[in-house]
Each structure stands twice: as C-alpha cells, then as structure tokens.
Structure 1
C-alpha cells in the first residue's frame, strides 16, 4: 500500500513539475513577445511625437517672412507597426489604444482639411489653430503610450539635450487652454455688456 501511495505521489509531483516548468517557459516567452512589441511600437511612436511638435511650432511663417501663411511642415501619417507583433501579450486596454491610434490620426487629418477650407487669408488662423490642437493631442497621447510601454517593459525613457518635443506639446497645449479661457471670459463680458445695454 505504501509503495502504491509513493508511486502515486511521485507521479503527481512529476506531473506538477512538468506543468510548472511549461508554465514558466510560457510566461517567459510571453514576456519576450511583449518586450519585443514594446520596442517596435515605441520606436514607431517616437518620430511621430517629434513630427507633432514640429507641426505645433509651425504657424505658417517659419523660416522667412512672407505675405501669406504657408505650412513648412508636413502633418505625420499614423505610425505603422510590424505584422508579427503579438497584441495579446500586452494589456488589452493598452493594445486597444495603440491599434485605435490610426483612427485618431485619420480624424485629425479630416478636421484639419475641413478647417483649411474655411480659413481666411493671409494668416489662416483657423487652419493652423485646428492643426496644432489636433496634433498636439495626438503627440501627447503617443508620448503617453510610449512611456507606459517603456516603464512596463523596463525600456529606457527618452532623453533630450536641448529640445524636448513632449515639452513643446505640453506647453503649447497649456497656451491654447489659456487662450480658450480668455476667449470664454471675453465672450461672457461682451454678453453681459450687451444685456446691460439692451436693458438700459
């Protein structure tokens, strides 16, 4: 009886060891796939962030004086990722954000195109404002995704000597938010003045 129990326990232990070994190997392979995905994605997102910062600095009068605004930077296309990435190896929400990013870039391109049709010369402020807002938001989102991937998979963060595209995007976003607040406040004051005049 004791020999049968010993044999049974030996079989259970042996099977358990095999299961644990396979599980450890599976997890290691999954981590490798996730790290590989992170490396490829952040290296696709970084140039996109840089391009968005350049777009936000372009008001149509960069480089040399001119009578009419003319863009000197091209809006970036959506980052492209290799087909061999295993999206199931990372957090599903993060995978969704990355895969849905191309749709956001398409939306930004459409809104910018529409703004260009209604913008007025010579400054075309509506176009450049819409363009900067759209690509500042995209650049900051791409930078956020890149930071999450770097931190999660222990990749080095980006370093900058003098010019930080993320800082440019963040500062320009703050400036636009301040402009919006000032416009709302001015509109409130104008409305109150007209109401006072109408009542008087």
Structure 2
C-alpha cells in the first residue's frame, strides 16, 4: 500500500501511466473491464445505467464495449450519458440509444444531442460508471479535478451504485490526503485485475 498522496500528485502519475499504455493494451484492458462488470454486477436487472463516453486520446476505458454488449443482448437496462452544461460546472444526462445523434464538445468528448434525446434525472439511475485516475481504500477517487461527477453523484438517490472504471491495475492508495467534504465515495471500482468494493 502507498502512503498518503495529494490529488495533484496522484493525477499526474496516473495520467502518465495511462498515456504510456499502447492503444491495443487499452483496448484489451477495456474488454476485461466490460467482462468484470457483467460478471460481478446485476447489469440485466438495472433499469437505468449511466455511462461516460471515453476520451480516446486520454486512454480512458472504452465504455462502448459495455454499451454495445447491452444493445447486442437486448437487455432491459436503458443507458444515459452526460452532457456538459454552458456553466461548465454541471452535467445533464440524456438517453443513449443506437439512434441517438452524438456531437463532440470542446473537450473532444462525445455527447448526445440534447435536442434529439430524452433528459434523464439523476434520481433515475441504478448504477453510474464513473471515470477516475486513482482511488483509495475508502473508495474516494481522483478525477480530472473539475468536480462534475461529485456534484452529479450527490444528486443520485440512496442505494445507487457508483462503480469506478480504471484501465490501470496499480496498488490501492491508503489515503488521498486532500479529500473534500463534497467528494462522493465509490461503492466499487473495477480494474483489469478484479473488483474492489468499498
């Protein structure tokens, strides 16, 4: 186990580790994450699953593998993805179907076209797949630092599963030194090597 680290230190180290992965390795690890999700979580029983759409250039987990499997197996669970709002502080969430038109925002992240999709309230989700760079033993995560997901997760109903996805399979951090009271912990984290529950 690692000693205490600040978010900034962990963010730099994780970004460097992730960028060092060849694209083929990111794809392989993303497939492992998909298989672990379906093996260890009741995906077919959920009504709504929130998925982030990956920033390919940052070697994020390829959540399209999860999305396409759900569609291919015609599961009951419905999907929604986030759309950054003009205030650049908040997210809204829109249903994602095979017919949903997408566009890229100014960060290069694919988003549903809000005018052509149905908005889904945060309280609807049974589970949320959460992007992260690092996680500690209490389930606290390090993201990119904007706080978007913490504000979103705080709006979800009690009992919603917050499941982090990481293509990195590194030792768990003991404790992130500069957590805030507004930081919302995960309920689980999936890495290529397994599932950690908090």
TM range (shorter): under 0.3
TM-score of the two chains, using structure 1 as the length reference? 0.22
Q: TM-score, normalised by structure 2?
A: 0.22
**Bigger-Rg structure (1/2):** 1
More helix by proportion, 1 or 2?
1
